[in-house]
């Protein structure tokens, strides 16, 4: 994205800026790193990530999650609501790797198919908050003044509620269910994206290339989407990764209290909730979905951290071995 920004249009004016020319480590520094390497920025980002073993491990876990999410139905040995009469609450065995639940359903199959639910809810919910939050943050940050006040105070209002409480309130209005849970989680995480985006935009909009672009007569919308957004993107990308973890966790929490995914569909949170009453009788009912949530959320967090390191200009300079003029 940044290449494109640099390549065409009036932003070219920002190119020649010298390293360390400004205290604010904005687009200028980042551009330099890339410029020297003559390698697309995303490639370099991936290379840097690949040097971090934790990030690689996390990525593998998430790759597995996506695979299982897409192929779960074919991978699972049994149907998610296939019930074995007389086979209730069986402990893990070669037939049922993760045991069976109180209905006589295969927990392994349900955990596999639960990945799809988590993935879908995570993607859609974060998609909602990403689009809404980024738009709000862009306009608030770029135009400032009363629009900034109006939008951000509204975001502050949403932000003032504890996330889960707010999601529950939204679900109380919309009614339970997976789709509504996605919307609720999307709404709850919108303010975070708005804030992150606005903060980033506030620094970007003062850059020379933006001023140049404005001076050369580009329209506001064009500047916002072609120049501001791409340069403000890195923190948003990091936030997206971390929010995926929160969204999956929120879905699990909402399903746990019965507001999210509805039975008999498999959701890790719902399975955990059902398994809770059986901890004394069948520990496997709660353990395996719990582990699944644990690993996926951990993976997103680790990847998010690693991405932050790589995308943060200061850190990046250290990682690439090129001082940023300090």
| Interface ranges with another protein (CB under 8 A) | 81-83, 85, 88, 102-104, 176, 257-258, 262-264, 276-278, 280-281
Buried b (16+ CB within 10 A) or exposed e, 140-175: bbbeeeeebeebbeebeebbeeebbebbbebbeeee
Q: Which is nearer to another protein, 168 or 212 (CB)?
A: 168
Shortest gap between Cβ of 121 and another protein (angstroms)? 18
DSSP letter string, 97-144: TT-B-TTS-BHHHHHHHHHHHHHHHHHHHHHHHHHHHHHHHHHHHHH-
Shortest gap between Cβ of 162 and another protein (angstroms)? 15
Q: Which is nearer to another protein, 82 or 95 (CB)?
A: 82
Q: Which is nearer to another protein, 167 or 303 (CB)?
A: 167
Shortest gap between Cβ of 176 and another protein (angstroms)? 7
Structure tokens that stand for 41 in this block: 């920025």
Q: Which is nearer to another protein, 262 or 301 (CB)?
A: 262
User: What is the C-alpha separation between 228 and 76, in angstroms, rounded?
Assistant: 46
Shortest gap between Cβ of 183 and another protein (angstroms)? 18
Q: Which is nearer to another protein, 34 or 167 (CB)?
A: 167
Shortest gap between Cβ of 7 and another protein (angstroms)? 52
Q: Which is nearer to another protein, 100 or 239 (CB)?
A: 100
The region, left, alpha or beta by phi > 0 then psi within -120 to 50, assigned to residue 69 is alpha
Shortest gap between Cβ of 258 and another protein (angstroms)? 6
Q: Which is nearer to another protein, 85 or 160 (CB)?
A: 85
Handedness of CA 234, 140, 144, 158 (dihedral sign): negative
Q: Which is nearer to another protein, 24 or 281 (CB)?
A: 281
DSSP 226: I
Shortest gap between Cβ of 254 and another protein (angstroms)? 12
CB 104 within 8 A of CB 85: yes
Residues 6+ apart with CB under 8 A from 171: 180, 181, 184, 254, 259
Shortest gap between Cβ of 277 and another protein (angstroms)? 5
- Give the helix ranges, DSSP H, for the chain: 2-7, 27-37, 41-50, 53-75, 107-143, 145-160, 163-174, 178-204, 208-215, 220-222, 229-256, 268-276, 284-311, 313-320
- Give the helix ranges, DSSP H, for 38-99: 41-50, 53-75
């Amino acid at each position: 994205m940044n290449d494109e920004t640099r390549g065409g249009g009036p932003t070219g004016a920002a190119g020649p800026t010298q390293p360390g020319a400004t205290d604010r480590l904005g687009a200028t520094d980042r551009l330099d790193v890339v410029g020297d390497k003559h390698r697309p920025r995303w490639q370099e980002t991936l290379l840097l990530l690949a040097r971090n073993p934790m990030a690689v491990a996390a990525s593998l876990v998430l790759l597995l999650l996506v695979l299982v999410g897409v192929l779960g139905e074919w991978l699972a040995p049994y149907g998610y609501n296939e019930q074995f009469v007389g086979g209730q609450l069986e402990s893990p065995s070669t037939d049922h790797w993760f045991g069976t639940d109180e209905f006589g359903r295969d927990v392994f199959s349900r955990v596999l198919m639960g990945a799809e639910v988590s993935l879908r809810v995570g993607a859609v919910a974060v998609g909602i908050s990403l689009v809404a939050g980024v738009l709000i943050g862009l306009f608030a940050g770029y135009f400032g003044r009363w629009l900034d006040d109006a939008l951000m105070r509204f975001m502050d209002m949403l932000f003032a509620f504890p996330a889960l409480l707010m999601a529950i309130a939204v679900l109380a209005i919309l009614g339970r269910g997976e789709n509504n849970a996605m919307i609720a989680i999307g709404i709850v995480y919108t303010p975070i994206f708005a804030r992150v985006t606005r903060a980033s935009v506030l620094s970007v909009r003062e850059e020379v290339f933006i001023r140049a672009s404005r001076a050369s007569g580009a329209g506001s919308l064009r500047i916002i989407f072609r120049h501001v957004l791409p340069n403000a993107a890195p923190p948003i990308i990091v936030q997206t990764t971390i929010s995926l973890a929160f969204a999956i966790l929120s879905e699990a929490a909402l399903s746990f209290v019965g507001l999210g995914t509805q039975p008999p569909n498999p959701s890790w949170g719902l399975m955990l909730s059902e398994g809770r009453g059986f901890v004394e009788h069948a520990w496997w009912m709660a353990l395996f979905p719990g582990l699944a949530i644990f690993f996926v959320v951990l993976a997103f967090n680790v990847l998010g951290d690693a991405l932050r390191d790589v995308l943060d200009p200061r850190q990046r300079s250290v990682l690439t071995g090129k001082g940023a003029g300090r």
